[in-house]
Amino acid sequence: MIDFQTEPARYRHWKLRCEGAIAHLVMDVDPAGGLMSGYELKLNSYDLGVDIELADAVQRLRFEHPEVRCVVLRSGKEGVFCAGANIRMLGQASHAHKVNFCKFTNETRMGIEDSAGNSGQHYLAAVSGACAGGGYEIAMTAEHIMLIDDRRSTVSLPETPLLAVLPGTGGLTRLTDKRRVRRDRADVFCSQEEGMRGKRAIEWRLVDEIVPPSSWEAKVAARAAELASRSDRPEGAKGIALSPLVRRFRDDGVDYSHVRVDLDRAAGRATITVTGPSALPADLAGIHASGADFWPLAMARELDDAILHLRLNEGALGLLVLKTQGDPAAVLAADALLEAHQGDWLVREIRHNLKRVLKRIDLTSRSLIALIEPGSCFAGTLAELAFAADRAVMFNGRRGANSPATVALSPLNFGAYPMSNGLTRLATRFLGEPETLTAAQGLIGAALDAEAADEAGLVTVAYDEVDWDQEVRLLLEERASFSPDALTAMEANLRFAGPETMETRIFGRLTAWQNWVFQRPNAVGEQGALKRYGSGIQPEFDRQRV
């Protein structure tokens, strides 16, 4: 089983050193520390295990180190910054593992960019040595790239000439969309094995600054201080510890404090039930005192871990059923705390963390069905689960002693949690109905029963108690019977209506092009580039273009 939980004391591949406002995140990969057997992580190449540590470090910097205003990404190895994804790992990994690895990698890089854009933690890439493929993608997540001008250090995206795979889905898009590299120059750059350095790398906007070795450390320190000066991170604030998650794994699921995952492998589905808060602090001081136990943060961390677990360890479960249970008023009260104290650094981090977790759900290649039943609490932040779903089905009426099912909106539904397309889930839902979106804002705080929620366009369909069990059974069985490939393509297209962004382009290409390329014999066949890489034997390509 692949576990996404780690901590700095367990890192094998990264070293984190905080020096006041500046942190140094040093990549020093243990060649023998691969997540799987059968390959060495030479030259600071990485696999999913390396990226799990990177994601953990980025998250801890946000919450545990409010004093850090600039993070310097650098290498701990002489002569190499990062050689990119480990080729032998890619050559032996299953198709599903390769694609999920690439997705997690890109989500982590988006998280770094989100830190700079929204958390006041700016990133600087200090590139010394060869910086190739995914290594250059890591560097490109930073706001500023410094390259030592020692006539040996280069940046490159060499996947096309070397590996017959798409050169870094995120790398290609960041070249053109983020770094504004000219299309024809990007074509040249991505076709060269040797990469570029010096003045040409500056002229082509591949890096921001070149520095001679004699002044390298001084220039890195000065640039880090300059980036730190732009930050609004608080001085003298005390961080909170991200304590280990409490989990219990069962043969048929996982139990957390606020999340339960139940697996039905015969039916090809998993049910995720999120429990609302049972108690909340009264004020900002209480939020800080609660730390990682504050319900919105604790729930989000557990839900994130559950989604990653299902992605990598339960690949055959193609249908996720989303449920909630608890008091809708308590969820709205938690939202009110997040809204009232949004200027506080910790509350800001919690809100952005919730945003990133909800994006992770959007980007998960599984069918998402929300069941809104009596006793549920699809309110405010948790209502986003219903809006993220491909379909939301609501029970109309009572069941036992439970109150009728309701849906409720809070101000957070209208801006706090944008999707990858830059729009809220409600704005995406009502893309062609702006008047419906405006009307929904007038419903903030109201407990909407099934008829009112249906009329407001917040659910797909409502069924009464006579039809509920049969209709839900048919819906879930039908969904599980469809082609998983067709569903992945359909869902990825339908979930991101509206404007295109760098983020939707990256993940759209990952879902479509990289998914396809990673199955082609030219890449993964016995005579393909990934299989023959390093053997001295040229790959054999099917030359027919499709």
* Averaged pLDDT for residues 281-306: 98
Q: What does the alpha-carbon distance between residue 29 and residue 40 come to, in Å, rounded to a whole number?
A: 10
DSSP state of 409: B
pLDDT at site 527: 86
- DSSP notation for 328-379: HHHHHHHHHHHHHTTTSHHHHHHHHHHHHHHHHHHTSSSEEEEEE-TT--EE
Question: Does 546 have pLDDT greater than 80?
Answer: no
pLDDT, tens only, 392-423: 999 998 887 778 999 999 999 999 999 999 99
% of the chain residues with pLDDT over 90: 84
SS3 114: helix
Split at pLDDT 50, 70, 90, the class of 324 is very high
pLDDT at site 485: 86
pLDDT, tens only, 272-290: 999 999 999 999 999 999 9
Split at pLDDT 50, 70, 90, the class of 545 is confident
SS3 234: coil
Top pLDDT among 305 and 542 is at 305
% of the chain residues with pLDDT over 70: 98
Q: What does the alpha-carbon distance between residue 189 and residue 537 come to, in Å, rounded to a whole number?
A: 25
pLDDT at site 169: 67
pLDDT at site 167: 66
Split at pLDDT 50, 70, 90, the class of 538 is confident
Q: How far is CA 15 from CA 4, 68, 75, 148, in A?
A: 18, 15, 10, 21
Q: Measure the N-to-C terminal CA separation of the chain; round to a whole number of Å.
A: 37
**What type of residue sits at position 440?**
A
Split at pLDDT 50, 70, 90, the class of 91 is confident
Split at pLDDT 50, 70, 90, the class of 447 is very high
* Averaged pLDDT for residues 486-491: 90
Top pLDDT among 240 and 160 is at 240
* Averaged pLDDT for residues 463-476: 96
Question: Does 253 have pLDDT greater than 70?
Answer: yes
Top pLDDT among 248 and 526 is at 248
**Length, in residues, of the chain:** 546
H helix or E strand, kind and range, residue 298: helix 295-313
| Nearest CA among 149, 144, 147 for reference residue 131 | 147
Q: Output the average pLDDT for the chain.
A: 94
Question: Does 514 have pLDDT greater than 90?
Answer: no
Helix locations, 159-240, DSSP H: 159-163, 169-173, 183-189, 198-203, 216-228
Question: Does 510 have pLDDT greater than 80?
Answer: no
Q: Tokens 């990404």 belong to which residue?
A: 73
pLDDT at site 168: 63
* HSE (side-chain half, CA atoms, 13 Å) at 230: 16
Token pair of 461 as six digits: 């369909």
pLDDT at site 531: 80
pLDDT, tens only, 151-175: 899 999 998 888 766 666 688 899 9
pLDDT, tens only, 370-392: 999 999 999 999 999 999 999 99
pLDDT, tens only, 175-211: 999 999 999 999 999 999 899 999 999 999 999 999 9
All structural domains of the chain, each given as residue ranges with its CATH number in brackets, are 8-228 (3.90.226.10), 248-494 (3.90.226.10)
Question: Does 504 have pLDDT greater than 80?
Answer: yes
Token pair of 160 as six digits: 């096309």
pLDDT at site 166: 65
pLDDT, tens only, 9-62: 999 999 999 999 999 999 999 999 999 999 999 999 999 999 999 999 999 999
Question: Does 517 have pLDDT greater than 80?
Answer: no
Q: How far is CA 489 from CA 95, 98, 358, 360, 365, in A?
A: 16, 17, 20, 17, 9
